[in-house]
Structure 1
Amino acid sequence: MKEFKKVEIKNLTKIFISGKNKVKAVDNLDLTIEPGEFVCLLGPSGCGKTTMLRMLAGFEVPTTGNIFIGNKDVANLTPDKRDTAMVFQNYALFPHMNVFDNIAYGLKVQKRPKAEINERVEKILKLMKMDDFATRVPSQMSGGQQQRVSLARALIMNSGVLLFDEPLSNLDAKLRLHMRDEIRKLQKEVGITSIYVTHDQAEAMSLSDKVVIMKDGKIMQVGSPIEIYQRPNSEFVAKFIGRANILKAKLIPEDGNSATINIFGHEYPSKEDLNGKSKEVDIVVRPETIKFDKKTHEGTVLKSVFMGENHEYEIEVNGQIIEAVLSNPHGKDIKSVGERIGFTFDHEALHIIDNN
C-alpha cells in the first residue's frame, strides 16, 4: 500500500524581481502537514497561496527555505523528481486523447507495462464511477466530468502528496457543491495527503482537516475549520472567514481567575484569565449567534431583509452597527427599518481578540 507523506515547509521565502522592484510573494513560512491530512491554503488574491503551491509542485524555485516531502528536501528538484501529483484549475486534458488515454498518460511516460496500465486505469475509472466514459474525448464531456478525469489522472500516479490548484473555480455553483463532496469523499477513501488552494471560504471549511489563512505572503492562522471560525486570532481572520461583528468591550476581573465582559453596559461571564487587570478588548460576535428571545440590549433597525431560511438585520446600537441573522423567521416578530429591536448575546459564543 502506498505510504502517504508528511510535508514540512521551513523558512520558505519567494521573492520575484522585476527590474528594480522586488515582491516578496511568500515570506518566511513554516508549516507542517501530517500524512493523510487535507489542508486548504486560503486567502485573498495576492496572498501567496498559489506561489506556495507552485513551489510545492516544483514549478517555482524558492528564494530561500526547505520543502520536505517525507524526509527528502525537494526544494530544488524538478516536478518529475518529487512525489507529488497536481489537479489543475483548467483541467489540462489532452483534447485529442480519450478519457482512458488521458488518465494513462503519466503511466505511459513512466514506461509501465501495458497490462499494469490497463489494470490501474480500469480501477481508477471504477473508483471515479466513470467506466462508461473511457472512449469519450474532453469535448464530449461537461466541466464536472472533465475535472473528474483530471483528478483520476492525478490519483493514478499513486503519489504521496496530491496538490489542487483551485480545481472547482470554473464550475457553476451547483456543480461546485457536488464536486466538493466528491473530492472529500475520495480523499477520505484513498487517504492521500492533500494540499488545496482556494479563495472560497465555504470550500475550505467543508473540505479541510486544517485551514491555513494567508495574507501578504504570511500565515495568519492555522487550525481546524471550527477553530478558525469560532476562535479567530485577529480581526482579519474573523472577517475573512464568514461574517463577523467586531465590538469594543472591556474585560473586568472577578474573584479568582474569572472575568466578565462588559458590552454596551451589560456584563457577560468570561473564562478569560486576566491576572487581576482590566483591559479594553475587541469581541468577535458572529451574526447567527445573536439571540432575539431576550431583550438585554436595544437598537434601531437600519436594514431588514428576508432571505428565506434567514432574516438579516443591521442594527445600530450606541454608534456601532451590528449584523444579526434570525434563523427560521417563519411566524416570528419581524422588525422593519426604523423600528426598535431587542436582543442579547450568547456569552458562550463571544470570542476575545486582545489587541494589547
Structure 2
Amino acid sequence: MKSPKKVYLENLNKTFITTGNDKVVAVNNINLKIKPGEFATMLGPSGCGKTTTLRMIAGFEMPTQGKVYIGEENVATKTPDKRDTAMVFQNYALFPHMNVFNNIAYGLKIQKRPKSEIKERVQRILKMMKMEDFSERVPGQMSGGQQQRVSLARALVMEPGVLLFDEPLSNLDAKLRIHMRDEIRKIQQNVGITSIYVTHDQEEAMAMSDKVIIMNAGVIEQEGTPQEIYQRPVNEFVANFIGRANIIDGEIEGISGKDAIVNIHGISYRTKAYKNFQTGQKIRAVIRPEGVIVGKQDFIVKVEKSVFMGQNQEYGVDFFGANLEISENNPTGKTIYRAGEQMGIGFEERALHIL
C-alpha cells in the first residue's frame, strides 16, 4: 500500500440551483483538515451537507468555489479518475454478472495493469479480507455483508491515498452492521489508509472514528475526537445530536482557577470551565443521563417513567417542570424506583459541561 495522504478542504462551497431558479446552499464555506491515516466521520441529519462534501472530495460534484487538496495537490476541478481516491458505496455497486475476483480486479484492468500484477494484488486483498473461498462466486450468491466486503476489497485493491465511504452499512441489519463496522475499522487500522466516512448513525461514528465532524445546514458545528464531541459539545445542537442530553439552566456562582462554580436551583457544583465566564452569568449546561446520580439528595424529584433495560435502569423524572433523563448502570441489587415515587438525585460534577 502507498503512504496515506492528508485531505484539506479550503473555503469549500456548493450551491445548487433548483428548477424554480432558487439557490440552495448545500455546503457553506467549510474548512477541514484530515491527517494522513486518520479515520474521519462526517455526521449529521439528512440534508446537512455531509454527502455533498464527500462527493466533492471524490469528484462526483464540482465545488461552486473553494479548494480540495489530496496530499499537496488541489484536485477541485479534476474528474474522479484523476484523483487518488476510491469509494465504497451504500448499494455495493458490484457487477452482478462478474465473480468476486473479476469485480475486485475491474479497476486494475481499466488501468491496464499486467495480468500477473492483477492476480497478485487481488489474491492479496482476498486473503486480507478472508474471502479466498469466495473468488468464484457472483454477488447474487452472497449475503449483504459479504457483498459489502467485496465492495471494500475492490476499493482497497486500487491502493488509493484516500478511501471514501458513503453510508456503506445502511442496508445491513443491526447485528451485521456492528460486525462490519468493527471489520472496516480493523482493516483501516491495519492498512493505515486515510478514510472519510459519511453516516447519520451516531454509534457508528463514535465506534469507528479518530475524528468526528458534526455538520448541520451546510456548516461544521464541531470537530474532535468522539470523547470531545460527546463530553464537551460546543452547543445544544451537538449535545442533542450525539447521544442523549439533558440541558439545564444555571448561573455562574464564581471562578476558581480553571473551574467554574455553577449554581443549579440552589445547589453548587464545581466543573471545568472551557470558556471565560463571569460571576453572575446565566448559563446552560449539559448533563448526560449517566451523569445523574440516583440516591444523592441534592434534589427530590418525582419519577414519571421507570424502565428496566437489563444493564441499565432508565428513568424520566420531573426536574423543575422539565423532563430529565437518567440512566443508572447495573441496577442489580439497587433500589428500583417506580413511576409516581419520589427519588433523590444529584449531578456528577465532572460530567456537568457548561455550553
TM-score, normalised with respect to structure 2: 0.97
SS at match of 1:149: helix
Specify whether residues 151 and 258 from structure 1 end up closer, same or farther in structure 2 by C-alpha distance, changes over 3 A only. closer
Q: Which runs of 5 or more residues in structure 1 are unaligned?
A: none
SS at match of 1:294: strand
Contact 1:309-1:328 at 8 Å conserved across structures: yes
1:71-86 equivalences under 5 Å are 71-86=72-87
Output the amino acid matched with 1:334.
Answer: I
CA drift at 1:257: 6.1
CA drift at 1:62: 0.4
Structure 2 partner of 1:224: 225
SS at match of 1:148: helix
Output the amino acid matched with 2:13.
Answer: T
SS at match of 2:11: strand
1:126-275 equivalences under 5 Å are 126-254=127-255, 258-272=259-273
Superimposed CA distance per residue, residues 157-185 of structure 1 (whole angstroms, 9 cap, x where no aligned partner): 00100000000000000000000000000
Identity percentage over the alignment?
62
CA drift at 1:307: 1.2
Structure 2 partner of 1:23: 24
CA drift at 1:256: 5.8
Specify whether residues 66 and 320 from structure 1 end up closer, same or farther in structure 2 by C-alpha distance, changes over 3 A only. same
Cα distance in 1 for partners of 2:136, 2:207 equals: 33
Output the amino acid matched with 1:81.
Answer: K
Contact 1:257-1:274 at 8 Å conserved across structures: no
Out of 309, 331, 334, which is 2:333 matched to?
331
1:2-81 equivalences under 5 Å are 2-18=2-18, 19-81=20-82
Cα distance in 2 for partners of 1:59, 1:257 equals: 47
Cα distance in 1 for partners of 2:39, 2:337 equals: 43
Structure 2 partner of 1:280: 282
How many correspondences in the alignment? 353
Cα distance in 2 for partners of 1:283, 1:42 equals: 23
Cα distance in 2 for partners of 1:257, 1:348 equals: 13
Structure 2 partner of 1:313: 315
Deviates more, 1:225-234 or 1:284-293: 284-293
Structure 2 partner of 1:344: 346
**Aligned-residue CA RMSD (Å):** 1.2
Deviates more, 1:112-121 or 1:299-308: 299-308
Cα distance in 1 for partners of 2:248, 2:199 equals: 29
Cα distance in 2 for partners of 1:257, 1:308 equals: 39
CA drift at 1:274: 5.3
Q: Which runs of 5 or more residues in structure 2 are unaligned?
A: none
Cα distance in 1 for partners of 2:228, 2:23 equals: 35
CA drift at 1:43: 0.0
Deviates more, 1:19-28 or 1:199-208: 19-28
Output the amino acid matched with 2:150.
Answer: V
SS at match of 2:233: coil
SS at match of 1:295: strand
SS at match of 1:220: strand
Output the amino acid matched with 1:9.
Answer: L
Deviates more, 1:262-271 or 1:118-127: 262-271
